[in-house]
Amino acid sequence: MKKHGTDSTICHALTVDVEDYFQVSGFENRVLRKQWDQYESRVEANTDRLLSSFDLHEVRGTFFVLGWVAERYPALVKRIAKAGHEIASHGYWHRLVYDISEEEFARDLVDSKDAIHNACGVETTAYRAPSFSIVEKSLWALDILIEHGFTQDSSIFPISGHDRYGIADAKREIHVIERRSGSIEEFPPSLAHVMGVKVPVGGGYFRLLPQALTSMAIAKIENERRPAMFYIHPWEVDPQQPRVDDIGRMNRFRHYVGLASTQSKLSRLISNHKFGTVADSIRSHWGDGRKPQLAPDSNTVAV
Ligand SMILES: [Zn+2]
């Protein structure tokens, strides 16, 4: 299939955060974790829908799987891996990193790693925090990731004005972060300004905005000769999902806007651009020999 774009060497990252509709951060005060087992689960069917679509378009992506999901639906995780996608961690309990202690974070990380390994035999080395919750006050999480063998992270959103996440002046491109415990490659979620509109590439913004705006944002990032990071959740292609009430107007809007059209918008998006896994995308960014050595230089930031 022909892919549009200015630079055919750049491969954008297609990523899925594998969690169920009732596990999102916006519902966490309404749906207690101990109640998760009581909700109708739709994560298998919804993830299978994404898998079929990716298969149809012959594209592979990276699936950040919640440990809780991996433990209960190991066959699903096996199917994702068998289809050639990259398996990564989204934590175990979907706890916001800045809401828990370093010890709790380490435990949650190990539990997710173990659950995923038990499900499909993959040793995860890439991580995305629930709701991009590695922010200024929770950067310590990077040390714990490094200590547990993680080499890639996609949790630091370079955005301002969001109530739950973001480091406004964080780097927008793939970069290496050096910490006291070692180094880790950060591939931040993407955003671009298109026609005066701030367009983050994925999630609720993808459902809310016309697909053309997301495509224009990706093209703009590609014009800067770097790959974009796109993210989606299985529940975002499920307009029939059971409604959770008493969640407040803002959460209701964020969760339910645009569900009916997201599957078709996604098909158009992955037809229009060249996508791959996070590993494919990082390789396309560094190219041959462009990856910086871990001595301080312009691509390296010490935090
Ligand atoms: Zn999540």
Give the model confidence (pLDDT) of 283-299 as tens digits: 999 885 556 655 444 44
H or E stretch covering 275: strand 275-276
pLDDT at 297: 41
Give the separation between CA 253 and CA 180, rounded to whole angstroms: 41
pLDDT at 301: 44
Gap from CA of 298 to ligand 1 centroid (Å): 31
Gap from CA of 156 to ligand 1 centroid (Å): 14
pLDDT at 91: 98
Alpha helices by DSSP H, 185-294: 203-208, 211-223, 249-256, 259-272, 278-286
Residues 6+ apart with CB under 8 A from 220: 192, 193, 194
> How is 116-167 classified by DSSP, letter by letter?
HHHHH-----EE--GGG---GGGTHHHHHHHHTT--EE------SS-SS---
Gap from CA of 20 to ligand 1 centroid (Å): 9
Gap from CA of 287 to ligand 1 centroid (Å): 30
Gap from CA of 197 to ligand 1 centroid (Å): 25
Residue type, 125: T
Q: Where are the domains of the chain?
A: 12-302
Gap from CA of 55 to ligand 1 centroid (Å): 23
Gap from CA of 23 to ligand 1 centroid (Å): 8
Give the separation between CA 90 and CA 86, rounded to whole angstroms: 13
What 217-220 contacts at long range (C-beta under 8 Å, 24+ apart), as own/partner pairs, is: 217/190, 217/191, 217/192, 218/12, 218/190, 218/192, 218/269, 218/273, 219/4, 219/5, 219/6, 219/273, 220/192, 220/193, 220/194
CATH, domain 12-302, list 2.60.120.260, 3.20.20.370, 3.30.70.3040, 3.40.50.300: 3.20.20.370
pLDDT at 296: 44
Neighbours of ion ligand 1 (CB under 5 A): 17, 19, 130
- Using one digit for the tens of pLDDT, what is the confidence trace for 43-79? 999 999 999 999 999 999 999 999 999 999 999 999 9
Closest CA to 162 of 102, 204, 105, 118: 204
Gap from CA of 2 to ligand 1 centroid (Å): 32
Gap from CA of 297 to ligand 1 centroid (Å): 33
Gap from CA of 292 to ligand 1 centroid (Å): 31
Gap from CA of 189 to ligand 1 centroid (Å): 13
Q: Which residues of the chain have pLDDT under 70?
A: 1-7, 288-303
